[in-house]
């Protein structure tokens, strides 16, 4: 996942402190994105400080592999806060 820091910053602004685990947050978001047909991670209202569902938008793009820059791979890029659909 790219733009992790911005995703965590936005995520931690709206999610209750007891659910702000940076390591698991990245893994959970990536797992969700790899197993849904969309590009938005949604957090249920009971886990947010706002009391409403919150959405985070991503896009998938090609990038050079870290261990083989001459090869490409798909990766998720955080775009920003989204709207719950």
CB burial class (10 A; 0-12, 13-18, 19+) of residue 54? buried
> Cα–Cα distance between 19 and 12 in angstroms, integer?
9
pLDDT digits (tens, 9 = 90+) for 18-46: 999 877 899 999 999 999 989 999 999 99
pLDDT for residue 69: 85
60 token code pair:
């998938």
For residues 33 and 39, the answer to whether their CB atoms sit within 8 Å is yes
Q: What is the pTM of this model?
A: 0.86
The residue ranges of every structural domain in the chain are: 4-82
The pLDDT-based confidence of 84 (bands split at 50, 70, 90) is confident
């Amino acid at each position: 996942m790219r733009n992790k820091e911005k995703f965590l910053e936005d995520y931690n602004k709206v999610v209750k402190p007891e659910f702000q685990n940076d390591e698991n947050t990245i893994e959970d978001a990536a797992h969700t994105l790899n197993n849904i047909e969309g590009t938005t991670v949604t957090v249920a209202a009971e886990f947010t400080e706002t009391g409403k569902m919150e959405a985070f938008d991503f896009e998938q793009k090609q990038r050079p592999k870290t261990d083989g820059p001459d090869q490409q791979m798909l990766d998720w890029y955080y775009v920003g806060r989204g709207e719950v659909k």
